[in-house]
Structure 1
């Protein structure tokens, strides 16, 4: 399936880095574009053309980073009442906002690292909530620039490692990043889950006391 898609895009699209960048920018408008799918497909394209390895990686990183910034500002503008998009507003429930605010306060940068590797809307919820709860923009830029670099590079090099055309250098990079990621991710996710569980337990207790 992946090979078929790669063959189609390489045959019909003249410059892939520009395409993957554009797709990721569309994701910043809350359109259903999968960041992971774009990275995987991009890595597959570079296996057939080594000259695209660096330009594609740069395009992916910039597309992801700029898209995240766009989502942050969507959340900020929503908090100020400048937009009233019901579909977006549904993602920012009161419990989610309070949980994100508390998690950012407790874990800060580590929250960004963990959530970058959790798909199905978790990332966008965090970026949007960061803007909504007023996380300083400079801090968001710092956190997200590093987290995006880690996640994009890890998945990109991992797919290239799996591909038959991957060089020894990329195989080494892929292995090191992937092993480090798994160790760090397992460690952090345990702490986040414990914190979320305690948060909702406290919320339930408060609701019962109020009743």
Structure 2
């Protein structure tokens, strides 16, 4: 966890602003793990360099702004954004086609799932914008709901484990696996509710006819 230690040092010296900027870079596809960045932000509050509740708020804003920025860039420039050298490193034409295929299969639910898929978030959010199949409000609500699950887990984990490095590393590893499982469970619940809603609508339409 050398990266975690380096981020803790950087954030302790520069405070909330450094965490905020780092999270914007995460949203832009920089090779910086968002979960480790959030944990580092929590750690410095546990060490007395800030307030954990303020750190949570700052982290939420940084995460959502970074994600929204990618969506809006895709929405404004469309597929032309794939020609940008910086974007092409994150979203190759092959990857773009693959994400589009997943949108066809999972629809808007993919935007919620993406938050729990490290390395896929930026590609999914840019693609969501380029497709013009979803409004910004829907995107923001889905992404915000997912962030309300993941962001506090990482920030408060860092806060409570600030003085116990071994315990913290253990729970980071467990947390990474648990978030995948949690995201899967929530997806299954959403699909079941959607399926039941469709059946109810179909039954009501059958009675009316």
Same structural fold, with TM-score higher than 0.5 when normalized by the shorter chain: yes
8 Å Cα contact 2:39/2:157 also seen in 1: no
Two-structure CA RMSD over aligned residues (Å): 3.5
Instruction: Quote how far apart the aligned CAs of 1:56 are.
Output: 0.9
Tell me whether 93-102 or 51-60 shows the greater mean CA deviation: 93-102
Residue aligned with 2:24, SS: helix
In structure 2, do the counterparts of structure 1 residues 130 and 182 end up closer, same or farther at CA, with 3 Å as the change threshold?
A: closer
TM superposition score normalised by structure 2: 0.66
Match of 2:144 in 1: 145
Deviations for 1:25-69, whole angstroms, at most 9, x for unmatched residues?
234454444322321211111111275101111111100100001
Gaps of 5+ in 1: 166-173, 191-211
Aligned length: 176
Question: Does residue 1:17 correspond to 2:16, yes or no?
Answer: yes
For residues 138 and 50 of structure 2, what CA distance do their matches in structure 1 show? 35
Residue aligned with 1:26, SS: helix
Matches within 5 A, 1:47-58: 47-49=46-48, 51-58=50-57
In structure 2, do the counterparts of structure 1 residues 187 and 83 end up closer, same or farther at CA, with 3 Å as the change threshold?
A: closer
Tell me whether 73-82 or 148-157 shows the greater mean CA deviation: 73-82
TM superposition score normalised by structure 1: 0.65
For residues 133 and 83 of structure 1, what CA distance do their matches in structure 2 show? 13
Structure with more relative contact order (C-alpha pairs < 8 Å, separation 6 or more): 2
Matches within 5 A, 1:105-184: 105-108=104-107, 110-119=109-118, 121-134=119-132, 135-164=134-163, 181=179, 183-184=181-182
Gaps of 5+ in 2: 165-171, 189-209
Residue aligned with 2:87, SS: helix
8 Å Cα contact 1:110/1:188 also seen in 2: no
In structure 2, do the counterparts of structure 1 residues 148 and 125 end up closer, same or farther at CA, with 3 Å as the change threshold?
A: same
In structure 2, do the counterparts of structure 1 residues 53 and 188 end up closer, same or farther at CA, with 3 Å as the change threshold?
A: closer
Tell me whether 25-34 or 124-133 shows the greater mean CA deviation: 25-34
